[in-house]
A and B are shown apart, each in its own frame.
Chain A
Amino acid sequence: MTETEGYVTADGRQIGGVLMELKDITLKFGGVTAISDISFDIHEGEIRAIIGPNGAGKSSMLNIISGFYTPTIGELWYKGKKRPQMKPFEVARMGVARTFQNIALFEGMTVLDNVMTGRLTHMKAGIGAQALWWGKARDEEVANREKVEEVIDFLEIQNIRKTPVGRLPYGLKKRVELARALAAEPSILLLDEPMAGMNVEEKEDMSRFILDVNDEFGTTICLIEHDMGVVMDLSDRVVVMDYGKKIGDGPPDEVRNNQDVIDAYLGVPH
């Protein structure tokens, strides 16, 4: 694709050029083809959703983007360059952060410490200096703490700053995960079912935070979600997958009216 200009969304927001492009991705586990020949792109500053029924290959797709899986066939272009095979932590250093479908926090550590781990990719002091909390390590920690406090303020979790994560309810844990991902100051944020298992109020809160993150920090967001209402409200463009294949791609309204999508996922309206 040569087109790198952005586009304007339905509500009048200007979206940047292509940030990440996935070309002809196929992922096989032995004889099972999880993803077959999918291409799509993510523009800078947009909220891009991936939807599809269970087992459609959505999480696998996210794992490819985050570098956890390497595609069997296909290329991944990021910021105009082809991305070579990488370890997940190398991908993280390039500005890709994520949250997990099943919360993956350190339960025994406080919220603050958990969010601080999100800054790991920004810390350069050696292990010795860090253990002694001396010199560069100290300055670095202070600078990083400042960034973390901004995120804590942004997500309104000041009151649980010092609470061990294990004692928090589910909805808040999800928010702490988001905080950790945000603390990394990613260019692209991957959210794996951010609303799963939440009640209506928690979903509203989370939606607001996702929109605010996108709006305030200009972070590009790629999310997987099952709640159709949420996806259609939040996202600028939607990729629809079914049995590892792409069956639709476009703005929410277009996808909603796509017959294949309706049949595969949304059901036929009465």
Chain B
Amino acid sequence: MAGLAEGTDGLCSVPALLQRNVEKFGDRPAYREKEFGIWQSWTWKETSDEIEALALGLLNLGVNPGDHVAIIGRNRPYLYWSMLASQMVGAVPVPLYQDAVAEEMEYVLSHCGARFVIAADQEQVDKVIDIQEHLHQFEHMLYVDPRGMRKYDHRRLHQFSHVQDQGRAAYDEYIEELKSRRAALTYDSTCVMLYTSGTTGKPKGVVLSNRNIVETAKASSEFDSLSEKEEILAYLPMAWVGDFIFSLGQAYWSGFCVNCPESAETMMTDLREIAPSYYFAPPAVFEGQLTQIMIRMEDAGTFKRKMFHYFMDHARKVGPDLLEGKPVGLFDRLKYALGEFTTYGPLKNALGFSKVRIGYTAGEAIGPELFDFYRSLGINLKQLYGQTEATVFITQQPDGEVRSDTVGVPSPGVEVKIAESGEVYYRSPGVFVEYYNNAESTAGTKDAEGWVATGDAGFFEKDTGHLRIIDRIKDVGKMSDGAMFAPKYVENKLKFYPDILEVVVFGAGKDRCTAFVNIDLTAVGNWAERNNIAYASYQELAGHPQVLDTIQSHIEETNISIAQDDMLAGCQIHRFLVLHKELDADDGELTRTKKVRRKIIGEKFGDLVEALYGGKDEIYTETEVTYEDGRKGKISATLQIRDTKVQPIATKIAAE
């Protein structure tokens, strides 16, 4: 693969793909965004003009090759154009998580030494202004939405459209420079720099080259035979590698249209209006949708509810087989067709999944119930396993080999091996160049031969060749009696209950496992309403005895299922409590991608962990919380601790 100096047909950068798309798909839509209640659209030709104007404007502002341009905001065409324009002038786009607080941004902005920032609106501009005195290299900021910006000091602040106007005005002066900079882009020049979410410690800047992006986009587009006719909805954070590959890499490779929602709140409505053919979502989104459906079905009339359950039962039975083209009896087929007409069709329409050809989920394990629900409706939902460092793809599931408990086979061009420690390693054209300004970490992750450690423990299933991921390797520990401790395995099982939003299991080095539970306010709140249980806050509902009873029964059921597994039977949960607050990224308990930061939680709630291993059945605690605007407050609560029934490990054979 090293011999491949040029990309296919000389397409060795994303701006080169843009040029090709203008020639090939000129009048097809490239971007759509809902604004003022109407879908506005831009063809590839128009897109290219907009990007060029911005690139010229950036030259006018003095952007040099190799400069970092930070891009902050929700998914909007303007910000995707900003990435392209930055690349065109030889600079490196660095998308940031828009919901990050100012201090988090400060770290990233000063680490990459961004000279320019392109922000979506006043909110983001304010954050950068707050920290700008600590940013020595920061010079100019552009903003897209002029609302509320009129009174700001505009010496270093520019409206996006004005920069474009200036670029158009200075066309003659800068076009030659732009052309030469665009021509100077090679397969190995940096395409983008993405910061990891920082599950452990400070975020690291992952440098991805044009080779990484173009090769990956090409391989994955071919894997699922994506064409220019796909429609996708871009709603996942722009700073996340997945969005970069789906909404930019694959979109430019295949030439399909990227649709941007009107606002984060209207996402579901917009999804329904666009009805994407290619859709990506983390399990949490699918889970949220399923919870919504179930709640609404509970509120529906008897006839509708019965019909729904009747046909859903049938779909669960034959739906997945139909999807995979396995033989199904004629009567079952007819019944499924009737179900499609009365139930599945309207349901898919309401969810915005009428036209989904391929759906992917990744990031977290997905519950079998959840997975089967969507597949039984005829939605081709698949799993993939990936990382920022791999430009997403490590393994993915081919059509016809889809299961909820594996993550599939190695993606095209990817080699995967399992080390003796159980850790998964991979090597591919998508393997990142380096961590920016962090040679030590780079060396620690990527060896001389290009193998990258994932940090996950897993194994290949003997008969199918599919990869199964157990847990983060550093989280897999030993209990005091030497039994294997895999917290995520247990947590995922519990999270499949709609009532439970988040679980943190403790037990490394201890004699038994215990857990913190977060209830799902939507699901439990709806249950409370139905049962006339009044509550004023999350905290009050979380402490309700009946809620605790329900959670306890979930845990006891899970214990039974865990006890079936020889290796992990020791991970049954002996005691638990329901936390008085929701775990929150603003308090540092979750990463921005909503992954649990185990260690921080263990330290922060040290008193509670201690109580779980003590003998008391309730504990008083005080916790500091951070509000959305950055202010801090305290909440206090007395929490109940409950013991749960555990299966004796020896009985598991008898139970079979």
Contacts and interface: CB of A to CB of B under 8 A. Distances in A.
Interface of A: 145-146, 149-150, 152-154, 156, 158-159, 161-162, 212, 215-216
Given A158-B265, A159-B269, 11 more contacts: A145-B37, A149-B36, A149-B37, A149-B38, A152-B36, A152-B37, A158-B262, A158-B266, A159-B263, A161-B37, A215-B151
Given A146-B36, A149-B37, A153-B36, A159 B266 contact: yes
Nearest to B150: A215
Nearest to A13: B151
B150 A158 contact: no
Nearest to A208: B148
A158 B148 contact: no
A209 B263 CA distance: 18
Nearest to A153: B36
A47 to B, nearest CB: 15
A212 B266 contact: no
Given A146-B36, A153-B36, A158-B37, A212 B148 contact: yes
A149 B39 CA distance: 13
B616 interface: no
Mostly, the A contact residues are helix
20 contacts: A146-B36, A150-B36, A152-B36, A152-B37, A153-B35, A153-B36, A154-B147, A156-B263, A158-B37, A158-B265, A159-B262, A159-B263, A159-B266, A159-B269, A212-B148, A215-B148, A215-B150, A215-B151, A216-B147, A216-B150
Nearest to B263: A158
A207 B269 CA distance: 29
Nearest to A12: B151
Contacts of A152: 36-37
B265 A159 contact: yes
A251 B38 CA distance: 43
A261 B573 CA distance: 64
Residue with the greatest number of chain B CB neighbours at <10 A, chosen from A149, A158, A161: A158
Interface in B140-169: 147-148, 150-151
B36 to A, nearest CB: 4
A145 B148 CA distance: 23
Contact of A212 (B35, B37, B147, B262): B147
A219 to B, nearest CB: 15
Contacts of A149: 36-38
The 7 closest A-B pairs by CB, nearest first: A159-B265, A149-B36, A159-B266, A149-B37, A158-B262, A158-B266, A158-B263
Contacts of A145: 37
Nearest to A147: B36
Contacts of B37: 145, 149, 152, 158, 161
Contacts of A146: 36
Contacts of A212: 147-148
B148 A216 contact: yes
Contacts of B35: 153
Contacts of A154: 147
Residue with the greatest number of chain A CB neighbours at <10 A, chosen from B37, B38, B151, B265: B37
A161 B269 CA distance: 11
Nearest to B151: A215
A52 to B, nearest CB: 31
Nearest to B628: A201
Nearest to B148: A212
A110 B262 CA distance: 19
Nearest to B627: A201
A112 B298 CA distance: 29
B39 to A, nearest CB: 13
A203 B461 CA distance: 57
Contacts of B147: 154, 212, 216
Nearest to A149: B36
A152 B37 CA distance: 9
A212 B35 CA distance: 20
Interface string B353-397: 000000000000000000000000000000000000000000000
A158 to B, nearest CB: 5
Contacts of A216: 147-148, 150
Interface in B8-65: 35-38
Interface in B248-289: 262-263, 265-266, 269
B268 to A, nearest CB: 9
A6 B542 CA distance: 57
A183 to B, nearest CB: 13
A216 B147 CA distance: 8
Interface in B91-106: none
A152 B34 CA distance: 13
A159 B269 CA distance: 8
Contacts of B266: 158-159
A156 B122 CA distance: 14
Contacts of B263: 156, 158-159
A242 B571 CA distance: 71
Nearest to B262: A158
A149 B35 CA distance: 9
A145 B266 CA distance: 19
Contacts of B269: 159, 162
A161 B147 CA distance: 21
Contacts of B262: 158-159
Interface in B59-91: none
B537 to A, nearest CB: 13
Contacts of B150: 215-216
Nearest to B629: A204
Contacts of A162: 269
